Amino acid sequence: MKAILESYQISQIVKYRYPFLLIDKVTEYVKGERLKAVKAVSMGEPYFSGHFPDFPIMPGVLITEALAQTSSLMTVLDSLDWQAGSEIPTSEATSMGVLGSVQISFLQSVLPGNLLELEVSIDWKKGSASSVNVKASVEGSICAKGKITVMSVDKSKISS
């Protein structure tokens, strides 16, 4: 799976950091349409020590967060004049995607050692809001799917 953005590049755009950046690389991006990314789920993830020690599974809220981060990343990339393979315009990213609403169904557990595939595609856009179809899968089996609404917010208008 060839990366078009690595985690260090992603963190320059969306400003998430370890341990909360839940996207390891972007493998596909079509402006205004879709983005595909992956998260390598490791036994070393901090949440596995308590969720659950005898049967470690990735918490659904973190799968949801990974899908929300992927949706947010797509929203920010869509606001930039960027094409896969070109230099990352991190200084131009004046907007950020923030979560508006979530509807997710969980269908299968995500375990340590899984490569979580994250797929998001635009359902509709209206003003600064986008409805995004989201899907998380492992080896072609869907683990979670649903819709997330993301709003594009001007970073200069967020109070510190």
* CA distances in angstroms from 141 to 27, 106, 109, 115, 117, listed in the order given: 18, 12, 10, 11, 10
Q: Which residues are catalytic?
A: 51
Per residue, the 3-state secondary structure of 80-131, as one string, reads CCCCCCCCCCHHHCCEEEEEEEEEEEECCCCCCCCEEEEEEEEEEEECCEEE
Residue type, 60: G
Cβ neighbours for 86, distance < 8 A, ≥ 6 positions apart: none
CB–CB of 3/25 below 8 Å? Answer: yes
The pair of three-digit structure tokens given for residue 143, joined into one six-digit string = 């683990």
* CA distances in angstroms from 44 to 19, 28, 142, listed in the order given: 11, 27, 23
CB–CB of 13/87 below 8 Å? Answer: no
